[in-house]
Chains A and B, each alone.
Chain A
Amino acid sequence: MAKAPPITNRIRTLREAQGGMSQAALAEAIGVTRQTIIAIELGKYSPSLESAFRISRVFGLGIEDVFGWETPPGG
């Protein structure tokens, strides 16, 4: 099992807050596949800086309002 990157996100919560925006709609908006959005939401894949900005702008927020950094134990 791959070690999850320490980057957290609130994408799912924000999608639901925006009237239940679908993963497919978000994927279309930032130019990736729906499976990539799923992987990002689950914390299995850390998006590029460009995609992180694109996602944040879809929600009208700053990047740190969507993504966070979880300091690993001992890190």
Chain B
Amino acid sequence: MSVIETVADMSFREKSAWGMGLVLSAGAFFYFSKVMSLSEALGRTAPPIIGFVIAYVVFIVIASVIVMSVLAGTAGKEANAPADEREKVIADKAGNWSGYVLAVPALGGLWHYSVNLDGNMLFHLIFLSLMLSQISEYVFQIALYRRGA
């Protein structure tokens, strides 16, 4: 089965998971590439820059609207249908597992702060954990859709 056939065979929610996962990954890459280059320039952990955060949020919102509009436009009535029983099970499992992903970098950040008292790093790690958690939720959804349930 070709890539085009595989994509055409996906349900609307699986396509949405792919779309949102890619959007959030691009946003995370954009945000952390800025933070890392600033940290290298400063020679220490960059402080939280509200401008980066706002740019990240604006990017995510605009890209999400575009991606979801395109997907909904091509999905027809499936886009308006509620999730069926299998899709609900997949969403529940993925949401549960992503909670663990949220905890790991967040706890790592707290441990790092308790040792180094680096509040800037704590901010970035907490922000990273939020991003990774959301991305992983879509990754888990895709894996479960591919597996069957």
Residues of A within 8 A of B (CB): 1-2, 31-36, 39, 42, 44-45, 47-48, 51
Contacts and interface: CB of A to CB of B under 8 A. Distances in A.
Interface residues of B, number: 14
B51 interface: no
A35 B145 contact: yes
Contacts of A36: 84-87
A33 B78 contact: yes
B147 A33 contact: no
6 contacts: A33-B78, A35-B10, A44-B149, A45-B149, A47-B85, A51-B85
Contact of B147 (A34, A44, A47): A44
B148 A33 contact: no
A34 B14 CA distance: 13
Contacts of B11: 33-35
